[in-house]
């Protein structure tokens, strides 16, 4: 018997989450979806949704983990060593790309880092606690999810932190390392925004040296236009991947 296709609203009701969550998981490639009709609307099968809810259903069939060479971010394939900037203008949009990015990594057994503090850090933890299939508090305790308030007190210290932290992860065996940096938090360790951008430029060397995909998030409500322009120039991968995909 054929499996009836469900629309996004029906899938959200079955999973007991918002339609926005269903769209995020579909965009990340974590939840299988079919595109139908001229408008390419999402459709889901009941069996796919049931499999998604099962403990240990870490990824779609055929998804590699330690040997993974790229990841999905908002429906865009990002190769290993990618260093991206994303730009958002609301508390809700802050989490649209990064929460599924982190959840996907945790399900695949990949080490994840979050550079955030205060209310921003708590917003991430609350959102990740609602994600099916992971226990974010257990991940923090066992060291698979690292929270960094500020990686160092200056550019050199920050780069030294990432170099050591990533070397430590690789000592346990090949893996892909996922990093989310909330720049509104990271800026607090630098005396000026210009110094923060210098750090971003220098981080490109870390990204190319280690098997990472890094997302640096910019809240356009708190940064000047000059700083945003500097962030665009510091993240050259954006222009190869298509900048529009990361304006949220």
Residues 172, 217, single domain; the answer is: yes
59 touches 108 (CB < 8 A): yes
Report pLDDT digits (tens) over 128-139: 999 989 999 999
Please state, as a whole number, how many other Cβ atoms lie within 10 Å of the Cβ of residue 152.
17
Cβ atoms of 46 and 6 closer than 8 Å:
yes
User: Cα–Cα distance between 178 and 201 in angstroms, integer?
Assistant: 18
What is the signed CA dihedral for 168, 170, 176, 179, rounded to 10 degrees?
Answer: 10
What CATH number is associated with residue 198?
A: 3.40.50.300
Q: Does residue 136 lie within any of the structural domains?
A: yes
Q: Taking Cα atoms as reference points, which of 165, 27, 11 lies closest to residue 96?
A: 27
- Write the CATH number for 24: 1.10.1660.10
> Which structural domain range is residue 10 located in?
5-52
92 plus 18 within the same structural domain: no
User: What's the rounded Cα separation, in Å, for the pair 167 and 114?
Assistant: 17
pLDDT tens, residue by residue, 163-212 = 999 999 998 888 999 999 999 999 988 999 999 999 999 999 899 989 99
What percentage of residues in the chain have a pLDDT greater than 70?
90
Is the same domain home to 101 and 46?
Answer: no
Q: Are residues 205 and 88 part of one domain?
A: yes
Tallying the residues shown for the chain, one arrives at: 248
Do 218 and 88 meet the contact criterion of CB atoms below 8 Å apart? yes
Q: Is 118:184 a contact under the CB 8 Å cutoff?
A: no
Tell me the longest C-alpha to C-alpha distance in the chain.
Answer: 64
C-beta separation of 118 from 241 below 8 A: no
Residue that wins the pLDDT comparison between 33 and 57: 33
One domain, residues 26 and 106: no
Q: Mind listing the pLDDT tens digit for each residue in 38-62?
A: 777 889 998 888 877 764 444 443 3
Mean pLDDT computed over 134-156: 92
- Closest by CA to 116, choosing from 92, 94, 135, is 94
CB 207 within 8 Å of CB 82: yes
Total domain count, the chain? 2
């Amino acid at each position: 018997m054929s499996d009836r296709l469900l629309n996004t609203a029906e899938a959200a009701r079955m999973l007991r989450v918002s339609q926005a969550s269903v769209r995020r998981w579909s965009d990340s490639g974590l939840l299988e979806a079919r595109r139908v009709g001229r408008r390419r609307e999402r459709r889901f099968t009941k069996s796919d949704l049931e499999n998604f809810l099962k403990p240990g259903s870490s990824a779609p069939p055929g998804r590699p983990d330690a040997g993974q060479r790229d990841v999905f971010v908002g429906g865009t394939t990002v190769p290993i060593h990618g260093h991206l900037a994303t730009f958002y203008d609301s508390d809700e949009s802050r989490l649209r790309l990064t929460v599924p990015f982190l959840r996907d990594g945790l399900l695949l057994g990949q080490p994840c880092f979050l550079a955030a503090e205060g209310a921003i850090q708590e917003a991430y933890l609350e959102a990740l606690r609602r994600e099916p299939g992971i226990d974010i508090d257990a991940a923090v305790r066992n060291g698979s999810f690292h929270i960094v308030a500020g990686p160092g007190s200056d550019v050199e210290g920050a780069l030294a932190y990432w170099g050591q932290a990533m070397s430590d992860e690789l000592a346990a065996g090949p893996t892909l390392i996922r990093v989310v940096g909330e720049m509104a938090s990271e800026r607090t360790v630098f005396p000026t925004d210009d110094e923060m951008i210098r750090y971003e430029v220098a981080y490109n060397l870390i990204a190319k040296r280690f098997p990472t995909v890094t997302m640096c998030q910019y809240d356009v409500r708190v940064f000047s236009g000059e700083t945003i322009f500097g962030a665009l120039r510091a993240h050259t991968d954006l222009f190869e991947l298509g900048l529009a995909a990361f304006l949220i």
